[in-house]
A and B are shown apart, each in its own frame.
Chain A
């Protein structure tokens, strides 16, 4: 099992450019999440998807869109990047079975917006 995977690992954008961060999990989890992590601010939830076909806003959704493509994949899109979106982005998933309600994280995407 690869767990939660994210691409790309690093990205540099110019203000106004767009990009999509990709996330996939192979644990058959229902719920998936996107967080950003900033120094002094901790982890903040951007969007989450409780099941395939549903998405909901988290604490800081402005400037982002998401797509739950299927049960495995959950993407985060920045339509017009701004310097304030410079951050480390983490995808996570939660499921059932022996790890019921336990949240697992991907390795992160380090994004710089110039």
Chain B
């Protein structure tokens, strides 16, 4: 059974710093991995989707990498801002045709002004 872990559960950093969020998964046979952010009381917003054949994806100040062989993905946030404060979740899809994503429990990020 696929398990997805995000450590740490919470992280606080000063504004302006670059930071890395981690996502680990136990079964490397994945189809894709998706990063989301969730603001308090809101739904999930998709940030980046990485297909299994890709090594990284970038959107603005965000860069997500994928290393299937080691079962790891990282989300890099450059020049952090208070508006980046949210919970960040990763989710893996096992293979094409399987609709069941497995989610991590998230990292709650606080950017200190």
Contact = CB atoms under 8 A, between A and B. Distances in A.
B49 interface: yes
Query: Most chain-B CB neighbours within 10 Å: which of A31, A102, A103?
Result: A103
Contacts of B104: 42
Contacts of B91: 43, 103
Contact of A48 (B36, B43, B49, B99): B99
Interface residues of A, number: 25
Nearest to A102: B49
B99 to A, nearest CB: 5
B110 to A, nearest CB: 18
Nearest to A107: B43
B89 A107 contact: no
Contact of A104 (B46, B89, B101, B105): B46
A105 interface: yes
B89 A43 contact: yes
A10 B1 CA distance: 33
A33 B99 contact: yes
Contact of A102 (B34, B99, B106): B34
A41 B44 CA distance: 16
Interface string A26-48: 00000101000000111101001
Given A31-B99, A33-B99, A45-B100, A40 B44 contact: no
Interface string B33-47: 010100000111110
Contacts of A90: 43-44
A102 B36 CA distance: 11
B99 A40 contact: no
A-B CB proximity, top 7 nearest: A42-B105, A105-B44, A105-B43, A43-B103, A107-B43, A102-B49, A48-B99
